[in-house]
Amino acid sequence: MKVKSYFFRCVQYVFLVTAFVLAVFPFYWMVVGTTNSAVDIIKGKITFGDQLIPNLKKLFADYDVGRIFWNSCKVSILTLIGQLLISSMAAYGFEFFASKARERVYRAVLLTMMVPFAALMIPLFRLIVRFHLLDTHTGLILTSLASVFLIFFFRQSYKSFPKEIIQAARVDGAGEFRIFWSIVAPAMKATYAAAAIYSFMTSWNNYMWPLIVLQSNNQKTMQLFVSSLASAYFPEYGVVMNAILISTLPMIVIFFSLQNYFVRGITGSVKQ
């Protein structure tokens, strides 16, 4: 019995270690790849080389990486601000001003979460063309402003906010916007942080919609850049690796510095 359970435990560790190594190794290889030449990468070299400086030089000489990186930052941050404002307000209305009619609206809103983006894409594209917003960041941001998931996420968190505090604030004569802005929102900092990470990650990593909306080179985001770089006829893999690392780094930094919020932002939706 003892031997059997010891053996069982060993199998578990072997399994977990394998999963861990498989999950982390590509990150290691990504970092190693930034220092190797295209040939070495495609032949699977797993040790550091001496091509980091040439790779970086080529990347920054041939492409306006600074601008592309800035484009991604700008789009992601503006989308984040808009999404957080709009969805936290909406969730506040749904939760603290509950009524039959608004509950029905809420149900309908949730239902749209099931509609795949592919079904919205074509009319959205035509809308953008009609408003002359093609190839602009405004068009990209505007169409991403509403996030059903975030409305749901905020409302779930508001549920645990004591309603008596709001009553008390009203008795003290605080206006409804002041209650929202200086009482409820500050108390929900953790929720906002988690939502911000979720929102930032979604727009930073978005590919299909920017691909359709943005067309000229100086409007491109990091994802579009990496994709076009890697699908060239003779990709410079060393340069590609550096671009990949630059586009992934912000997410890794955010993940490690705000891990708890990060996980909350992802799982918050299923907690009862």
Partner 1 sequence: MMTEKPIKMPNYGRPRWTLSRYHRYGWFFISFAVLVLALFMLYPIISSLIMSTYSSRGMIQRFVGLGNYQRLLKDRVFLQALKNTLIFFIVQVPIMLLLALLIATLLNNKDIKFRGLFRTGIFLPAVTSLVTYSTLFKMMFSLEGLVNKFLLNIKLISTPIPWLVDPFWAKITVMIAMTWRWTGYNMIFYLSGLQNIPDELYEAAKIDGANAYQQFARITVPLLKPIILFTAITSTIGTLQLFDEPTNFASGGVTAATIGPGNSLLTIAVYIYNLCFKYMPNFGYAATIAYVIVIIVAILSFVQFKLAGERR
Least Å from the CB of residue 66 to partner 1: 19
- Cβ nearer to partner 1, comparing 58 with 180: 180
- Cβ nearer to partner 1, comparing 70 with 121: 121
Residue 236 one-letter amino acid: E
Least Å from the CB of residue 67 to partner 1: 18
Least Å from the CB of residue 199 to partner 1: 14
- Cβ nearer to partner 1, comparing 50 with 172: 172
- Cβ nearer to partner 1, comparing 57 with 111: 111
Least Å from the CB of residue 84 to partner 1: 12
Q: What does the H/E/C string look like for the chain?
A: CHHHHHHHHHHHHHHHHHHHHHHHHHHHHHHHHCCCCHHHHHCCCCCCCCCHHHHHHHHHHHCCHHHHHHHHHHHHHHHHHHHHHHHHHHHHHHHHCCCHHHHHHHHHHHHHHHCCHHHHHHHHHHHHHHCCCCCCHHHHHHHCCCCHHHHHHHHHHHCCCCHHHHHHHHHCCCCHHHHHHHHHHHHCHHHHHHHHHHHHHHHHHCCHHHHHHCCCHHHCCHHHHHHHHHCCCCCCHHHHHHHHHHHHHHHHHHHHHCHHHHHHHHHCCCCC
Least Å from the CB of residue 92 to partner 1: 5
- Cβ nearer to partner 1, comparing 85 with 187: 85
- Cβ nearer to partner 1, comparing 2 with 271: 271
Least Å from the CB of residue 126 to partner 1: 7
